[in-house]
Chain A
Amino acid sequence: MSHSDTVPLHPSSQSDIDEIENLIHASVQSAPATVLPARPPSPPRASIPVVSSSPFLQSNLPPPPPPSSNQKVPSVPEPPPPPSSSIAASGFGSAPNTLTEPVWDTVKRDLSRIVSNLKLVVFPNPYREDPGKALRDWDLWGPFFFIVFLGLALSWSASVKKSEVFAVAFALLAAGAVILTLNVLLLGGHIIFFQSLSLLGYCLFPLDVGALVCLLKDNVILKVIVVSVSLAWSSWAAYPFMSSAVNPRRKALALYPVFLMYVSVGFLIIAID
């Protein structure tokens, strides 16, 4: 919240930084910050000044459009993701750094969050049996990348009707995640909608790896083995979360659709050539 930790990238951008800081100071909200999820303290983040202090503070829902007019940093070739992380989990009125930080920093922060979520969900770790801890810091970028990558991999390996294959795969995965979550909710389970979407998306990572291997090497036996292994891995990753969300007498009812979705995606990977 001061000039000392804002490094001007270019001498002429100093005045822009001043301008931005003035704008933010002028409209700063005084709503106190509330709970912060279990994340190591990150650099104090700017909030895009909004008029009302609504509960949307906390969410990682589709972010507002980036204030591109304010950001004079040199643009990066890759499409800069909107600074979703700049919706302050630490409250309004903190340093406006993330508005002026290099896009690479924002991207790096999101990427590291994806990697840490991935490690929590898909790889063995001591928190596995406690789903409450498993994905406190959920995000939807990871699942988005995994679903699109899987669709692309399937589309590349198809020899005909490529776009239809992509459409089917994407629709199956995206709608499937939503429907699976609704299924658990309807069975009387206790989960948070977006956390579950996020988790089901992360559990697609092993199938992504399998699809990549199958894309590169086109042997049926190998495909069957690779897909079976990645299917087992995905199911193992999703199991504790899903089974603990519902009444134990309904566990199979909640798990079967997950299994069905992964089997159908696995079949698509094997069958598409």
Chain B
Amino acid sequence: MQIFPPNNGGERGKGYQTLGSPPEGFEQQPENGSKGVFSISSYTQYFNVDTDIVLNRLMSSLYPIGGDFFSKIDANPDLYGLIWISTTLVFMLAAFGNCATYLMEKHSDSTTSWSFDVSYINLAAGSVYGYAIVVPVAFYFLLQYLGSNASLVRFWCLWGYSLFVFVLASFLLLIPVEFLRWIVIILAGSASACFVALNLRSYIAENLSLMVVAAFFLQFALAIFIKVWFFP
């Protein structure tokens, strides 16, 4: 692997300290590395994944019945999935939402012309990022309060990968047939919600079925929201 700049190039700008530190070992709850909260190297442990690992996790998020996601990510939870799947979803919702709205209106009234509503981007970003970040935090604190042992990073990882189904579904949601759209979103929503709920149940030691059901319904509510707002 080429390391650059070559040493005689001279450091320009802030540069950045060489990543000398290997991942910080398998701590139970690695909040920050010992290097502090503003140093990159304290976060690289959450991105220590290769392409094939990420693909593996993506594929396993499509199987709602598995229930073994946490054991897959236990040693090496990653935040790469959370960040880039949610970003992809934001873009898909904004782009395909506009297309789908146009197609639907064209279906009913053939004189409508294409107009791009840029507020879809803001709405998509707010809702997807808000959901993906806040819901796991809420569950983490609730579970900590109720005495169960929870790991925030693993929750973020789980919820991040659970959004992958929606990315795929938004391709199908372009079809301007109302009935078909509802079928697609209900299927996608249930798959994603089952994925979250079953994995959560297998992770939590205690019998907190209320949490599991709440997770299921929240995910399903996100699916309905996506359908109603972006693909009317």
What is the interface of chain A, defined by CB distance below 8 A to chain B?
34-38, 55, 58-61, 130-132, 136, 138, 158-161, 164-165, 168, 182-183, 185-188, 190-195, 244-253, 256-257, 260, 263-264, 267, 271-273
Contact = CB atoms under 8 A, between A and B. Distances in A.
B25 interface: no
Contacts of A164: 118-119
A35 B10 CA distance: 6
Nearest to A197: B13
Nearest to B55: A252
B111 interface: no
Give the interface SS of chain A, mostly helix, strand, loop or mixed: helix
Given A168-B118, A260-B84, A271-B116, A244 B12 contact: no
Given A138-B12, A257-B84, A131 B51 contact: no
Interface string B1-25: 1111110111111111011000000
Given A131-B2, A188-B19, A192-B5, A253 B12 contact: no
A132 B119 CA distance: 41
A251 B52 CA distance: 11
Interface stretch (B39-47, B139-147, B196-204): B39-47
B95 A187 contact: no
Interface residues of B, number: 44
B50 A186 contact: no
Most chain A CB neighbours (cut-off 10 Å) among B5, B49, B91 = B5
A158 B98 CA distance: 15
A263 to B, nearest CB: 8
A169 to B, nearest CB: 9
Contacts of B16: 185, 192-193
Contacts of A252: 51
Contact of A264 (B5, B11, B95, B122): B95
Contacts of A245: 4
Given A188-B48, A257-B84, A195 B13 contact: yes
